[in-house]
Structure 1
Amino acid sequence: MESLVLDPPAAIAEEATLSALLRCCVREVAGPRGHVWHASPYLLLTVADTLIRARTAGGAALRFEGQVERLEFGAWVPLTADALVKLAEAELDGHNPEFAEQVAASRDALAAMLRARSCALPPNDPWLASEQALVLGHPFHPSPKARGGDDWLRYAPEAHASFPLRLLGVREDVLAQEGDASALDLAGIAPPGYALLPAHPWQLDLIRPAFDDRLIDLGPGPLVAPTSSVRTVYDPVSGNCLKFSLDVRITNCVRKNAWYELSGAVALTERLTPVFDQLALRFPGTRWLPEPGYRSAALDTRLLEGLGVIVRAGPWSVCSPGLTPVLAGALACAAPPADPLSWWAGYVRAVALPVLDAFFTHGVVLEPHLQNVLVCLDQEGRPVEAIFRDLEGTKLVGHDLSGLHPRVAEALTYDASRGWARVVYCLMVNHLTEIAATLALSEAALRELWAVARDILAEYGDASGRPLPLSNLLAGAPLPAKANLTVRWARGNDRSAGYVPIANPFA
């Protein structure tokens, strides 16, 4: 009953935190142990010998409806996030003294974001507004809004933040740069003998570089706005996105551009340009955001990585005239369109088919989760094009990378099995499952949506020689779902996250 006395932002934060952790428990704790079952109208599960019930919708998306309750002394009572944390801790192997603090910090951060958001004006740019719409965070993460460091709220996209960059000058003999980073020169003017290096002010406060004649502070730069990833910002003057390092843990990872990721972005852009040209010929609505260059200061590894900034094209530069790019994650939170079946068919064709063909035809593992895909909508709100972005998670299968530094090549490479698991998780579990749950107003409607999707993917498979992994997917093989609770409990990074099997809607 404690939630009844909370202020609205705190109450929303409590409900969202409980829901996210409960989804994790269904998927990673109770589910694998066989402790989840349906008893209409409820989903029932046990965690640490405690019976929990909730009404759900949306299939595997697990959209909870109404109060989540636990059985206590023969009576159903409301379940709180703190109580569920204790149950999860009792069920999980090992010990993690940070876990409860991280969940609580995420809840507190969400409440602070909601309060700040209510007093802030959203951006006029509809794409940027969609970037700043992911207020609740990852629906299957135990601490989706936990942020390290101080003063994070002033840089939070959820609070409609905007702020000036800091401009640094790097003496040309210690400049680190690959590819075409000339877009950075639009941010200001550097003195003779220096190159301009925009910096994220939060990162400068975190790493506190020593300024001397090799690295100088040129003061404030242009006003930018953070996108959904927090560390990538949009410069509306140049129309480019800039991906900075942030020595801050956001969800599972410290968001720093490792030196091999800086080089890897440029190497991937060169290799993916002909791939996306061919994808666009077969699927005309396919777009992507190249990352043509990076710039940093070659002073030491800490500063090379900490000050490294990757140039990324902005979505308005690749979206066709008359269309509006919108973040897929924002669409997963939006109201359903008037004709969901037709809309869904267009969506699946625009998003899923180029992802599958990139893998099967070109050996490219895209990472099409909800934060990495923008969908270009026409004036009636119908999906026409899909934009794929963020090369950090893009990998290559079976490519000759002998010309690259071995560490760069290693970071860009997956074997086929690992690559397919990543594709299926991002596309089916993280992405399409959430969009379908938003569109479907009933379980019957949800089944109809998945039948349409299966027909579209089967049509592609028939035209592509029926690749075995796709045939298995269409036949109902279990889907791999990323184990965010497990990796956070183990205090691992995102790369160490494994998968747990969940039901395939095609089954």
Structure 2
Amino acid sequence: MESLVLDSPAAIAEEATLAALLRCCVREVAGPRGHVWPASPYLLLRVAGTLIRVRTGGGAALRFEGAPERLEQGAWRPLTSAELVRLAETELTYGTDLDRANPEFAGQVAASRDAIELIVKARTEAEPPADPWLASEQALVFGHPFHPSPKARGGAGWLRYAPEAHAAFPLRLLAVREDALAQEGDTSALDHLGQAPPGYTLLPAHPWQLDLLRPALDDRLIDLGDSAWPVAPTSSVRTVYDPVGGICLKFSLDVRITNCVRKNAWYELSGAVALNSRLAPVFADLASRFPGTRWLPEPGYRSAALGGRLLEGLGVIVRSGPWSVVSPGVTPVLAGALATSARAADPHAWWAAYVSAVAPPVLDAYLRHGVVLEAHLQNVLVGLDAAGMPVEAVFRDLEGTKLIAGRHDLSELPAKVGEALTYDAERGWARVVYCLMVNHLTEIAATLAPGEPEQRALWAVARQVLAGYAERAGSPLPLSDLLAGAPLPAKANLGVRWSRSADRHAGYVPIGNPFA
């Protein structure tokens, strides 16, 4: 292996890539096979016959300390990401069928590592935004900690649109002739971006998506050039913030980011508007019960009715901006950024406030209203007061929000729209628990107090908060099981990438519950 300068972008990218893949191997490969053993201060695991050790902390978050090593001829030697890829490939191919081999896998892991290196370099030369919320959106340098290729992105020229590189760019403004306009709901917030000719309606487009689509322009679709001011990408890449209008715009992007090609399917465009109207009374009720609860409505979408490819490819969903919903004096911060930076003079008080703001409304939405909120680290903004204490929780992104089948009347919707909006109760609860407990609270707790005794103390505080909510809610069975220590469902991102399945088909592996 080529020698690396300590803390060089290449070394940082290699360390992050190796750690993410190793976490996946612990959770999805070695763990289910019984090939993981605690040996303090190390965690030992066996992958494809090779014994690996690494110092670890942070509970289920698996925060590694120092370089992982492999046992070779009686001596411990440094492990590289390329070596771990080969071991994982062997284990996964042998553990399934030979025809399930994935020739793309190694390239995806390498592409993610190379992307992290480019991002780290770009951040040394770019100026972060002054807006603290936007800065938190652009802070996720390494991506999902339990994904084998968290920063692999399709397409060329992606760095100029990367939130992690503090990108900012103008939108491309199109004009759609009124007889070719497709829209539902309230899209008036788009009209301040520019002026369309008479008989046309303004349609903003992401410049990267426009390059990918290369739409045929005729008198039904006119290119008006760039917007007068730049927008900034948020953590999802395809959603941008317009600082002049104070709104967010969620574009289609025909690029694979982590597990999915990020395109607004026609039924997702219609579904966002249908769901928005149904969620308004739900969040009004949640806010009455939990006063710090907020959400970012998505009141409408606009596109061009010029065939399915352009309808979906040019579709843009309007979303409220976070500064419009938080209370005066409260600063919204992306939970994913707090998962890498949370600090507090009194960790127990801060953590109690955090869990109280985030968890009860998510559980109540499911139990009382039959609504599945995907409260993972990228879908929740936490409102901090002037002292840095969590006081509000802002939930966003209706694409992942679902309704429990049988508890909502969707009969007036097209069948495909209704199907995309629903989960059965079991799948919905698994999604709630994974996003809230495994993806979110586990990561925050690991950053706030990485030591094992401190972790136990934090989870005792969290259990007290949730037990109080459970008592008020009548101790519903799924919540009682959770508090009793039932295993938690952890999403199998390595399995999804290996099988090349759609993200909606992702399975779960059981992991230990910190309440046990």
Q: TM-score, normalised by structure 1?
A: 0.99
Superposed, 1:343-492 pairs within 5 Å as: 343-397=350-404, 398-492=407-501
The AA in structure 2 aligned to 1:96 is N
Distance in structure 2 (CA, Å) of the matches to 1:155 and 1:249: 14
Corresponding residue of 1:84? 84
Asked whether 1:192 is paired with 2:198, we answer yes
Give the distance between the partners of 2:455 and 2:310, measured in 1 at CA.
Answer: 50
- Deviation string 1:36-64 (CA, Å, 9 cap, x unpaired) is 01011100000001000001110000000
Counterpart CA distance in 2 for 1:113 and 1:494 is 25
1:20 counterpart letter in structure 2: A
Structure 2 gap ranges (5+): none
Please tell me the residue identity of whatever aligns with 1:47. V
Q: Is the aligned partner of 1:144 residue 2:150?
A: yes
User: C-alpha distance in 1, partners of 2:303/2:508?
Assistant: 35
Alignment partner for residue 508 of structure 2, among 495, 499, 502?
499
Q: What do the CA deviations read for 1:90-125 (whole angstroms, capped 9, x no partner)?
A: 000320000000000000011001111110000010
- What's 2:117 paired with? 111
Match of 2:346 among 339, 349, 369: 339
1:251-286 alpha-carbon deviations (Å, 9 max, x no partner): 000000000000011011100000000000000000
Of residues 154, 162, 167, the one that matches 2:168 is 162
Q: 1:127 aligns with which of 129, 133, 154?
A: 133
What is the distance in 2 between the residues matched to 1:335 and 1:355?
21
Question: Is the aligned partner of 1:243 residue 2:250?
Answer: yes
Structure 2 CA distance for aligned equivalents of residues 441 and 404 of structure 1: 48
Mapping 1:292-303, distance limit 5 Å: 292-303=299-310
Structure 1 residue runs of 4+, over 2 Å off? 1-7
Match of residue 56 from structure 1: 56
Task: Please tell me whether the aligned partners of residues 3 and 14 of structure 1 are also in contact (alpha carbons under 8 angstroms).
Answer: no
The answer to whether the 8 A contact 2:357-2:392 is kept is: yes
Separation (CA, whole Å) in 2 of partners of 1:268 and 1:347: 27
Q: Distance in 2 between matches of 1:17 and 1:6?
A: 16
Measured after TM superposition, the shift of residue 4 of structure 1 is 3.4
Partner of 1:204: 210
* Structure 1 equivalent of residue 329 of structure 2: 322
- 1:492 offset after TM fit, Å? 1.0
| Matches of 1:370 and 1:187, distance apart in 2 | 30
Determine helix, strand or coil for the equivalent of 1:393.
coil
Q: Which residue of 1 aligns with 2:271?
A: 264
Does the alignment pair 1:213 with 2:219? Answer: yes
In the TM superposition, 1:89-108 aligns within 5 A as 89-92=89-92, 93=96, 94-108=100-114
Q: Between Structure 1 and Structure 2, how many residues are aligned? A: 507
Report the alpha carbon displacement of residue 403 of structure 1 after superposing the two structures with TM: 1.1
Q: 1:134, 1:7 → 2: CA distance?
A: 18
CA distance in 2 between counterparts of 1:62 and 1:499 reads: 17
Q: CA offsets per residue over residues 173-217 of structure 1, 9 Å max, x none?
A: 110000000111010000000000000000000010000000000
Distance in 1 between residues matched to 2:27 and 2:450, nearest whole Å: 23
**C-alpha separation in 1, matches of 2:160 and 2:502:** 26
Work out whether residues 266 and 312 of structure 2, in 8 Å CA contact, stay in contact via their aligned partners in 1. Answer: yes
SS in 1 for 2:375: coil
Task: Quote the residue 2:311 is aligned against.
Answer: 304
What is the rounded CA distance, in whole Å, between the counterparts of 2:451 and 2:399 in structure 1? Answer: 37
Rate the CA distance shift 1:430–1:480 in 2: closer, same or farther, 3 A. Answer: same
Q: Are 2:342 and 2:444, in contact at CA under 8 Å, matched by a contact in 1?
A: no
CA shift digits 1:319-371 (9 cap, x unpaired): 10001000000000104211110000000010000000000000000000000
* 8 Å contact kept, 1:165–1:220: yes
Q: Which amino acid aligns with 1:483?
A: A
TM-superposition CA deviations, 1:467-497 (whole Å, max 9, x none): 1110110010000000000000001121111
1:356 is aligned with what amino acid? L
**Distance in 2 separating the partners of 1:21 and 1:2:** 20
For residues 388-415 of structure 1, what are the alpha-carbon distances to aligned partners after superposition, in whole Å with 9 as ceiling and x for unaligned? Answer: 0000000001211111111100000011
Q: Alignment partner of 2:423: what SS? A: coil
Listed one character per residue, the Cα deviations across residues 272-301 of structure 1 (whole Å, up to 9, x for unaligned) are 000000000000000000000000000100
Q: How far, CA to CA, are the matches of 2:374 and 2:450 in structure 1? A: 28
- 1:55-99 Cα shifts (integer Å, max 9, x gaps): 111000000001110000100000000000000000003200000
Residue 70 of structure 1 aligns with which residue? 70
Question: What TM-score, normalized by structure 2, do the two folds share?
Answer: 0.97
What is the CA distance between 1:2 and its match in structure 2? 4.0
**2:28 is aligned with 1:22:** no
C-alpha offsets along residues 14-33 of structure 1, whole Å, 9 cap, x if unaligned? Answer: 00000000000000000000
Quote how far apart the aligned CAs of 1:6 are: 7.0
Contact map agreement 1:365 1:396 (CA 8 A) in 2: yes
Aligned amino acid, residue 255 of structure 2: V
How many Å separate the matches in 2 of 1:350 and 1:39?
A: 36
| Gap regions ≥5 residues in structure 1 | none
Q: Is the 8 A contact 1:3 1:11 kept in 2?
A: no
CA distance in 1, matches of 2:439, 2:342: 19
1:3 CA drift (Å)? 4.9
